[in-house]
Structure 1
Amino acid sequence: MSDIAVVVGELREEWGTTDRMIAKLSSAQWNLETPSPGWRIKDQIAHLATSDAAALAAAKFAGLATPPSPAEVTGKALDPSVLGDQSARLTARMPQPVVVGLWRATRRKLAETLIELPSDRRIPWFGRSLTASAMASARIMETWAHTVDISDALGLGIDATDRLRHTAYMAVENRDGSFRAHDQDPPDEEVRLELTLPSGVEWIAGPAHTSSRVLGTALDFCLVAARRRHRDDTDLQAVGLAADRWLQVVQAYAGAAGSGRQPRALESKADIFMPDNERRADEQQQ
């Protein structure tokens, strides 16, 4: 994507947004159920803590004089069955300050390790490898996705910044993997993604010559790609069969797709997408 220091700086901003959201949660709020079935807010933060710890371990492996292969790491330290629900559930049993403290310490070390990693090293990650920049983008994507769940649980607006381009980038990189996660063959035709970032800047990926395109806002696309909203609850447009097929399965992360979200009747999309402070100002003007 760009210089590692810049991307890690944005990762720190993403972490900071989430941290401010949970910093003063009461015990009752800490135990609130989120839209992800069976996941409370404390489970979401515990998952971020354990997945950041896994990313840190993988980055340290990459820093060795003779790094292990992705298959070797996945088969040992980063067994997905341990990293996923099981490790998050165990971590979530700890007191709230301990979980948050663990996450803060781990992410601080992860940021330092990613910046210091030699530019020619790739990080082993579940059967594949990532550059330090791509790993930072992946962490931005996952942090934002889980923060959407927390925002929904607390009734807050979704934080939408130009950092969404990292989630969009991860979705583009995982296009073929999205189809395979649904036991489908990827279409031969390429898809062009034309999104508008919150700042109004256009973010484009894919060849100009293709007739298949996905059009809309980065927020809508990233909510669908993170599987936090059903595409029917957005204004995304798919032009062409390949684009339509992709929107049916798109996900910004590798691995199993999960059940995703069902379409829901929204009283107002603006109410979902508008940050709390902007919503209050809008209500006062009315």
Structure 2
Amino acid sequence: MTGNTVLDQVLADLAAQGDELDGHVAGLSDDQWRTPTPAEGWDIATQVAHLAWTDRASIAAVAHVHGDTEGWDNLVLEAIADPEHVVDKAALAGADRPAADLLADWRQGRAQVIEALRSVPRGHKIPWYGPPMSPTSMATARFMETWAHSLDVYDALGVTVAPTDRIVHVAHIGVRTRNFAFVTNGLEPPTDEFRISLTSPSGEQWEFGPDDAVQTVNGSAYDFCLLATQRVHRADTDLVAVGAEADQWLDIAQCFAGNPGAGREAK
């Protein structure tokens, strides 16, 4: 797939992922929205509020591309003023509202961010907290966040949701952020590419990197995506690394922006 076809597919999967989570939270009582999730200090409302805030930030960033710079510029100033806490503050403030209002805001933002990303002129990049991104890259990042935070909500609710091949977008960003994971941990990134072979939920084989790479990672795509979003301890995955640097990567894999996370304890 090329051009808008790729973006359209990611946006369709992003919409489906949001709808899936919506179906699990829409009927919750106000008390249930306050159920703690595995993320310390974050309940279900906080998780959804974070998704809603990030959608709004994405919409503001796209508006900047179209010449409406005020909203995005204000968000950047907020991040500069308190880089360590801006995300938590926004999520907690957003969660401190009636559940119906939060749900309505999240639904509106989900629809608007998809239309906003479709509106970006071909070849233009969108400003972000890190390097500027293409619409497809931003849509992929929004999918990754939606998927990862959905897992926290499902854990809190005690429900199991079968993975789908939509997680290819998480696998893709997990592979692309290999060097970022090394840098954010104060380590020199490897100079050679790895071969990553992952089995999708449907049984397809997803391959990344050159066939003749000396260092490799093999296992299930679902486990790799859980690890890259730090929703599982490495010991609880089926991932197998060959090579010292590939092995080290699995200890520090991180596909989300920000400082290295604490990860999850082994079961």
2:56 matched to 1:50? no
Q: Alignment partner of 2:142: what SS?
A: helix
Q: Among residues 177, 180, 194, which one is paired with 2:180 in the alignment? A: 177
Please tell me whether residue 258 in structure 1 is matched to residue 261 in structure 2. yes
Gaps of 5+ in 2: none
Task: Give TM-score, length-normalised by structure 2.
Answer: 0.92
CA deviation map 1:43-80 (0-9, x unaligned): 10010010111111112212339x89x9x787436655
- Preserved contact between residue 212 and residue 238 of structure 1 (Cα < 8 Å): yes
Seen in structure 2, the aligned counterparts of structure 1 residues 52 and 124 have a Cα distance that, compared at 3 Å, is same
- 2:37 & 2:138 partners in 1: Cα distance? 26
2:244 match? 241
Match of 1:16 in 2: 19
- Relative to structure 2, which stretch is displaced further, 233-242 or 137-146? 233-242
Partner of 2:112: 109
Give the secondary-structure state (helix, strand or coil) at the position aligned to 1:76.
helix
| Equivalent in the alignment of 1:128 | 131
Which whole-Å CA distance do the structure 1 matches of 2:66 and 2:219 have between them?
A: 40
Contact 2:126/2:135 (8 A) holds in 1:
yes
* Count of aligned pairs between the two proteins: 261
Aligned twin of 1:270: none
Work out which of the residue numbers 122, 138, 141 in structure 1 matches 2:141.
138
Superposition deviation, residue 209 in structure 1: 1.6
Name the % identity: 39
The amino acid across from 1:21 in the alignment is H
Q: CA contact under 8 A between 1:42 and 1:92: conserved in structure 2?
A: yes
| Distance change in 2, residues 1:127/1:87 (3 Å) | same
Structure 1 runs not aligned, ≥5 long: 265-286
Q: 1:197 aligns with which of 197, 200, 203?
A: 200
The 3 A distance-change label for structure 1 pair 256 and 43 is same
- In the alignment, the residues of structure 2 paired with residue 205 and residue 18 of structure 1 have an alpha-carbon distance, to the nearest angstrom, of 29
Conserved 8 A contact 1:51-1:83 = no
Q: Aligned letter for 1:182?
A: N
SS of the aligned residue for 2:218 comes to strand
Contact 1:137/1:167 (8 A) holds in 2 = yes
Alpha-carbon distance in structure 1 between the residues aligned to 2:85 and 2:123: 29
Note the aligned Cα RMSD (angstroms): 2.0
Matched AA of 2:251: Q
- d(CA) in 2 for partners of 1:249 and 1:184? 10
* Contact residue 179 and residue 249 of structure 1 kept, 8 A: yes
For the Cα contact (< 8 Å) 2:193–2:210, is it kept in 1? yes
**CA 1:46–1:207 in 2, change beyond 3 Å: closer, same or farther?**
same
Equivalent-residue separation in structure 2 for 1:188 and 1:5 (angstroms): 33
Whether the 8 Å contact between 1:74 and 1:125 is mirrored in structure 2 is: no
CA offsets 1:200-226 (integer angstroms, 9 cap, x no match):
111111111212111111110000110
* Distance change in 2, residues 1:13/1:173 (3 Å): same
Q: 1:131 Cα deviation (Å)?
A: 0.7
| Within-5 A mapping of 1:52-131 | 52-64=55-67, 75-76=76-77, 79=80, 80=83, 83-131=86-134
- The one-letter code matched in structure 1 to 2:121 is P
Note the alpha carbon deviations across 1:21-64, whole angstroms, 9 max, x for none: 11111222211111111110111001001011111111221233
Question: Which letter maps to 1:263?
Answer: A
Q: 8 Å contact 1:181–1:256 — kept in the other structure?
A: yes
Cα distance in 2 between the residues matched to 1:82 and 1:37: 14
> Are 1:210 and 2:213 an aligned pair?
yes
Matched, 1:154 2:192: no
Aligned residues of 1:54 and 1:83 also touching (Cα < 8 A):
no
C-alpha separation in 2, matches of 1:4 and 1:146: 22
